Structure 1
Amino acid sequence: MYKINFITFGCKVNHYETECMKSLFREASYEITEELTEADAVIINSCTVTSSGDSRALAALRKTRAALPDAVIAMTGCYPQANREEAAKLSEADIIAGTKSRAHIVELVGDCLENRTRIVELSDYSAEDIFEPLKCTRFDSNTRAFVKIQDGCNQFCSYCMIPFARGRCRSKPVDVLREEIRAIAENGVKEIVLSGINLAFYGREWGLDLADAAELCAETEGIERIRLGSLEPEMMSEELLRRLKALPQFCPQFHLSLQSGCERTLKAMNRKYTAEEYLALTERIRSIFPDCSFTTDVMVGFPQETDDDHAESVEFIRRIGFAKVHVFRYSRRKGTRADKMDGQVPESVKTLRWQEMTAAADETREKYLSSLVGKTVPVLFERENSTEFHRGYAPDYTLIKISRKNPEKSLRNRIISVIIEEYGHDCCIGSAVPAPPSTFRS
């Protein structure tokens, strides 16, 4: 029996696809090993959103080859798909496959193990491509499952390589999704996180939308929570929000991709909304979900961004009051429009702006966490932290800890009401209460 190890970089979609590949290898009688030195084969599932993502994947490839000179190593994912010529030259990899070959990955690895012939399988996306037939019902965590229901992007933001790495928007068929969710529930998973590259475009080719996928999950026995991945703000209609509100299982945490709070920068990025439209959306969502939280991604140092532009973006972050912000520096990507723009911002300036934006994000997070003190929320517990705490998440995706008085007792995969008594740097701390879980809504 061959042993195989997986190294995954990037977003939740990538991690879902790794779990799907694990399922394929298990079905083919491979043993999944967490110990790299035991592996006969290694799959590196790469990310190419930023240049640092490329660097991490390539460093992992070199390190793995040095540690396992005789193993079969496959480089898959977004990096080889978006950088086909460079990827094909990676001598450390025995298999180069992008984002189109996962359904055949077992066959590719098997051929390479038997014949020791190098394989490069890369091809362009076309408008006729359909959703890749991958599914997963077994996850390393048995409390929450990330389920990919959408792939590709039609937006072509000026800084982004993803349309080249993932192709155009396409959706998982409803019947396939129904079968997958049912199997996941039968394995004891209580929370589904619907994920995609451009999730809010789900089902558009069939006249459906994201609410149809959420409603399907809600109809599945055993699913007690439904959460959404990253969303494009311009696709969140009033009807969609009202349909989500009608689902008792829906968790009102909205990760609305922002990128910048500056009007001028948003236009240069080719984003499809203005800052004022984004603000109006958050106000509308709050009117429907009074206890919701907002999280987001923000970029600093975009080409031609001035100090005033940056200050406008920082102030916008404070104005929204995000529960959490992922702040990152603009990264030049060859082949994008932004890479050719004049006015590239020096790295030293990017670093200063990152520090300022991060400080503002920390302020809004502390303010949000402090607002939760005194509330009682239902918490889905996932794991223990040593012998000190039980850890889980409220519907708004706040990390909640309660004292683990009995180290032998686990609350894993249970939903328990917790009264929040204090907050820390990145979590809230409370005590379990005997009352049944609330809906976390006013």
Structure 2
Amino acid sequence: MYIYFMTFGCKVNTYETACMTAAFEAEGFTPTLEKNLADIFVINSCTVTSESDSKLRQTLRGLRRDHPNAVIVLTGCYPQAFPDEAAAEECADIVTGTKNRSDIARLVKNYLDDRERVCSVAPYSSRDGFEVMSADNIEGHTRAFMKIQDGCNAFCTYCIIPYARGRIRSKPVEDIVSEARKLAENGYREIVLVGINLAFYGAEFGKDLADAAEAVNSVDGIDRIRLGSLEPEKMTDEMLIRLAALPKFCPSFHLSLQSGCNRTLKAMNRRYTAEEYTELVDRIRHIFPDCGITTDVMAGFPGETDADHKESVEFIKKIGFSDIHVFPYSRRKGTKADLMDGQVQNEIKKQRAKELAETGAVCRQKFLQSLVGKEFPVLFEREKSDGLHHGYAPNYTHIKILTKNSEKSLRKMIFYVKIDKIGENCCFGEILPERSILDTNISNI
């Protein structure tokens, strides 16, 4: 039978979908990218905002309308956080959460035998360990995601994720090494370590994120290691120094900010101040010259004044991020912020988000301009298109080079490139044959 996966949300969900795909294949199901072929649909949901829930419900109803005889599985963060609401979605034949993902194939097989609707969302407990899954192949990706951490203990006032993911727990180091070796065998050259609260990796058994990166660094065939989104308060000097000692580590840091205003950070229950964040950025840039530092910023948190907003704008200018992701605050049932006074009007949130994004775009172009004339090893990720080869520098800058005479693809190859100009959200450059990472003839490229 053919099975079609739909993934919403973060890189962790992308990884978990790949793991579920492998589990279904092991049970004899055939993944497909063609909806019209599918007998089974698996929706891996996100619930970070109320808008994501609304989009999910629309997707469910559309699938049932267009595929009345298909088996529909709803899994992920939405059912885990709101099991009763999810169970009420009658378009789904099977409803399950973020626990025990390896059981989903069995649930589907049982449903195919008896056609009895299943609602099975197991609650988390403080004794839960890390559910070890593996995804040896992520369709269409040059870099591979590896989930090494799950859960969150922070309880930021705007966030539902601790209820959807449980408490922090981490993948054992030996399992990280084993999975990295399989990914290397399958031709992946870059691994991105991801988690729900990644910077807290290993906290429950005396390890930290540097231990995980060192484990991947030890694996032959893997040339690059990246980190997913990070919470600033756990990035210690010792950890940064250990990461800098790894030849495969890529210095791109996504440091979640949310606000550059201390009053707003406190209301959000964030565990750092703007001053502490600035000190961390300064340390990172001292240790990792030309690194990329990106972030998330929220506009219009409850109680945010015009002065608070302007403080965030000025903070972004001061830091000079290489890129930012801006989003208006979205009320989330079940969180403390949903009940706070001072909810900001939507139009004001949109205007503030626009100003933040425009400020971030200026910072982005300044960062790209600072790279002109410099040389970076570039991993090429996409097939040639529009007369260009596309790849990424270690600091996660998008690099494009013009093709010449060859039709040869550079995908999964690493070459040094000298940056000669910038474009919109990218840099252009030329390959330096004398500094090729690979023993490859590129005279015709």
TM-score by length of 1: 0.97
Distance 1:437 1:231, change over 3 A: farther
Q: Which residue of 2 aligns with 1:138?
A: 137
Where does residue 411 of structure 2 map in the other structure? 412
CA distance in 1, matches of 2:370, 2:232: 25
The answer on 1:186 being equivalent to 2:165 is no
Match of 2:102 in 1: 103
Higher mean alpha-carbon deviation, 164-173 vs 61-70, is at 61-70
Task: After TM superposition, list the pairs within 5 Å mapping 1:146-161 onto structure 2.
Answer: 146-161=145-160
Contact 2:296 2:325 in 1 (8 A): yes
Cα deviation, 1:124-172, whole Å, max 9, x if unaligned, reads 2110011112111112145311100000000000000000000000001
Q: Quick one: which amino acid aligns to residue 401 of structure 1? A: K
Cα separation, 2, equivalents of 1:387 and 1:114: 50
Q: Distance in 2 between matches of 1:212 and 1:228?
A: 13
Aligned counterparts of 1:225 and 1:436: Cα–Cα separation in 2? 17
Task: Give the corresponding residue for 1:44.
Answer: 43
Q: Is the 8 A contact 1:387 1:404 kept in 2?
A: no
Does structure 1 retain, via aligned residues, the 8 Å contact 2:384–2:409?
no
Regions of 4+ moved over 4 Å: none
Q: Which residue of 1 aligns with 2:59?
A: 60
Partner of 2:19: 20
**One-letter code aligned to 1:127:** S
Gap change, CA 1:301 and 1:437, over 3 Å in 2: farther
User: Given that residues 377 and 437 in structure 1 are in contact (C-alpha distance below 8 angstroms), is that contact kept between their aligned partners in structure 2?
Assistant: no
- SS of 1:227's partner is strand
Letter of the structure 2 residue corresponding to residue 47 of structure 1: C
Any idea what SS the aligned residue of 1:435 has? Answer: helix
Cα distance in structure 1, aligned partners of 2:100 and 2:236: 34
Q: How far did residue 177 of structure 1 move? A: 1.4
- 1:117-128 equivalences in 2 (<5 Å): 117-128=116-127
Taking structure 2 as the reference length, the TM-score comes to: 0.96
Matched residue type, 2:383: E
1:241 aligns with 2:260: no
CA contact (8 A) 2:378 2:393 kept: yes
Contact 2:223-2:248 at 8 Å conserved across structures: yes
Residue type at the aligned position of 2:244: K
Q: How does 1:260-275 map to 2 (within 5 A)?
A: 260-275=259-274
CA contact (8 A) 1:142 1:413 kept: no
What is the rounded CA distance, in whole Å, between the counterparts of 2:13 and 2:202 in structure 1?
A: 20
User: How many Å separate the matches in 2 of 1:429 and 1:60?
Assistant: 39
Instruction: Verify the 8 A CA contact 2:2 2:29 in the aligned structure 1.
Output: yes
Residue matched to 1:344: 343
Q: RMSD of the TM alignment (CA)?
A: 1.1
Aligned to 2:358: 359
Structure 1 position 51, deviation (Å): 1.5
Runs (5+) with no aligned partner, structure 2: 438-445
Structure 1 stretches lacking a partner, 5+ long:
none
What is the rounded CA distance, in whole Å, between the counterparts of 2:174 and 2:351 in structure 1? 49
What is residue 317 of structure 2 aligned with on the other side?
318
Residue 152 of structure 2 aligns with an amino acid whose one-letter code is: C
Q: Percent of pairs identical after alignment?
A: 58
Alignment of 1:307 with 2:306, yes or no, is yes
Deviation of residue 69 (structure 1)? 0.4
One-letter code aligned to 1:397: Y
The 2-side partners of 1:354 and 1:143 are apart by 32
Deviation at 1:112, TM superposition (A): 1.7
**Counterpart Cα distance in 1 of 2:384 and 2:182:** 29
Q: Is the 8 A contact 1:101 1:121 kept in 2?
A: no
SS of 1:192 mapped into structure 2 = strand
Task: Give the secondary structure class of the aligned counterpart of 2:4.
Answer: strand
Q: Give the corresponding residue for 2:204.
A: 205
Listed one character per residue, the Cα deviations across residues 252-307 of structure 1 (whole Å, up to 9, x for unaligned) are 00100000000100000000000000000000111111121100000001000000
Change (3 A) 1:343 1:371: same
Q: Distance in 1 between matches of 2:72 and 2:89?
A: 11
CA–CA distance in structure 2, aligned partners of residues 16 and 56 of structure 1: 21
Alignment of 1:114 onto 2:113: yes
Q: Distance in 2 between the 1:394 and 1:410 partners?
A: 18
Instruction: After superposing the two structures, state which structure 1 stretch, 281-290 or 407-416, moved more.
Output: 407-416
- Cα displacement string for residues 317-344 of structure 1 (whole angstroms, at most 9, x for unaligned residues): 1110101100001011111100000000
Query: Matches of 1:138 and 1:231 in 2, distance apart?
Result: 25
Task: Quote how far apart the aligned CAs of 1:78 are.
Answer: 0.4
- Residues 396-441 of structure 1 deviation map (CA, whole Å, 9 limit, x = unaligned): 0011111123463100000011111111111111111113258xxx
**Structure 1, residues 84-141: CA drift from partner, whole Å, max 9, x if none?**
1111100100011110131101011112223221100112211001111211111214
Residue in 2 aligned with 1:401?
Answer: 400
Check conservation: 1:127, 1:168, Cα contact below 8 A.
yes
CA contact (8 A) 1:80 1:97 kept: yes
Shift of 1:385: 4.9
For the 8 Å contact 1:214–1:226, the answer to whether it is kept is yes
Q: Which amino acid aligns with 1:329?
A: P
Deviates more, 1:427-436 or 1:164-173: 427-436
Structure 2: distance between partners of 1:271 and 1:124? 26
Amino acid corresponding to residue 346 of structure 1 in structure 2: Q
C-alpha distance in 1 between matches for 2:141 and 2:155: 36
- 1:31 aligned onto 2:30: yes
Alpha-carbon displacement from aligned partner over 1:306-365 (angstroms, at most 9, x marks no partner):
000000001101110101100001011111100000000010100100111010010100
Paired residues of 1:37 and 1:67 also in contact (CA < 8 A): no
> In structure 2, how many angstroms separate the alpha carbons of the residues matched to 1:423 and 1:190?
26
Q: Please name the residue that 2:10 is paired with.
A: 11
Q: Contact 1:130–1:170 at 8 Å: present in 2 too?
A: yes
Partner of 1:279: 278
Q: Is residue 258 of structure 1 aligned with residue 257 of structure 2? A: yes
